[in-house]
Amino acid sequence: MLTKTFVLKEHHPFGGSGKVFFADSAELVRRGLEEYAGKVQVIYLDPPSFSGGAFEFKDKYAFSDSVEDRSAEEYVESIKPVLTACRDLLCPSGSLYLHTDYRLSGKLRLIADEIFGEDNLMNEIIWSYKLGGRSTRFYSRKHDTILFYRRSRKVFFDISVTGTPRGNSGKNHMKRRADENGRIYFTVRTGGREYRYYEDDLVYPTDVWDDIEHLHQRDPERTGFSSQKPETLLKRVITASSREGDIVMDLFGGSGTTAKVAAETGRQFITADIGAASLFATRRRLIEAERETELFSEKAPFEVVYDDPKARQTLDKPLELVKLTPSLGGFKVAVLDVKNACAFAAVGRIEKGVFHADDYAVRPKEGEGMFLKNGGAIMLVDSKLRTGFFTLKDR
């Protein structure tokens, strides 16, 4: 009754506008992104950190996104073709943000300087945070480095969108007053001159970002990725270096933060990642975020593209996850409670190798139902992140 079908793409009616590639980034840029050459406005890269295990699936969707099975030199060389492709993908006004840490910042900067040119390094941004463990054997490591490169001197950059009101903190030594329009300001007199600092004036970040905190373990944004970055951080990157409608790219998509923020700020997104955990988290975040928006807001679709469907779609026994009950014109689909085995489900149809989703069980609960039409298709993801697509055939 349920026949396994391999699909090339998933089409989701909202959550975009964008495209998610389920593929190895280095292989993808080698053979699959020519259509975007010279069209991408901003690229954010946060390669897996150089420690730990490679994309290991752990309890409660806790994922480790790091590598340890090769030398630092081999690792950097594997990033080099991606950085080279990024230069060619960027438009003349585009820019690259390369996020790294103390292990690789020096080595990656040498490679990026070679590819983009030393003169095109705009900033070495220090993202400083306080959360996390402390060390007594050395100074606690509480910062990351973000290398900010431009494609050319035509770079677009708008710092005005990053400003925050000055406020009244740290002004205890100044006099607080109001001008003729009622605006509050603080004043100090130095060298016979008075200086005013208005409370509502915008203050812009420097190249040390200490106003964005790392995500704590119970933060609502958390998806389970150990190196997940805050949405606030990506919003600053994306809005300062792109405009609405521009293309934003992330070739190490991870938990999907770049895609989510790009969609929410009216940009197009292109992300890629080789990990099943990444696709799972990204797909779910995009769908859930869009469901929270206003009912009549304009919806934009996104697609998932598989580089090797047969290697990626490995779920074979759908009836272990759902129960089908005959109903007029099809079947009612009920999720089974087998140790929370069903992690994601969607129903729709398959046309020319593309699964078009109509309804979702994004965080399935026992008995949660959907309706599967005769001739329709169901997509299932189990707790081990195995994915399968199945067409409903008439008895």
Phi, psi (5° rounding) for residue 238? -70, -45
pLDDT score of 17 more than 50: yes
- What average pLDDT does the segment 231-256 reach? 97
pLDDT in the model for residue 60? 34
Helical packing angle, 105-116 and 72-89, nearest 10°: 30
For residue 58, give the DSSP letter: -
The string of pLDDT tens digits covering residues 178-236 is 888 888 888 888 888 888 888 888 889 999 999 999 998 889 999 988 889 999 999 99
Q: Which whole-number Å values give the CA distances from 98 to 30, 323, 370, in the listed order?
A: 19, 46, 42
Rounded Cα distance between 12 and 303, Å, is 6
The string of pLDDT tens digits covering residues 21-45 is 999 999 999 988 999 999 999 999 9
Rounded Cα distance between 117 and 147, Å, is 13
CB 331 within 8 A of CB 319: no
Rounded Cα distance between 152 and 129, Å, is 31
pLDDT in the model for residue 64? 45
> What confidence tier does 354 reach under pLDDT thresholds 50, 70, 90?
very high
pLDDT score of 335 more than 80: yes
Q: Name the one residue in this structure whose structure tokens are 């929410």.
A: 264
Q: Which whole-number Å values give the CA distances from 48 to 32, 67, 94, 121, in the listed order?
A: 21, 7, 23, 22
The string of pLDDT tens digits covering residues 47-75 is 987 654 333 333 333 344 555 556 778 88
Read off the amino acid at residue 171: K
CB 226 within 8 A of CB 64: yes
Least confident residue range of 21-25, 107-111, 164-168: 164-168
Q: Return the SS3 of 388.
A: strand
- What average pLDDT does the segment 133-139 reach? 86
For residue 258, give the DSSP letter: H
pLDDT in the model for residue 25? 93
- Considering 50-54, 79-83, 154-158, 372-376, the range whose residues carry the highest mean pLDDT is 154-158
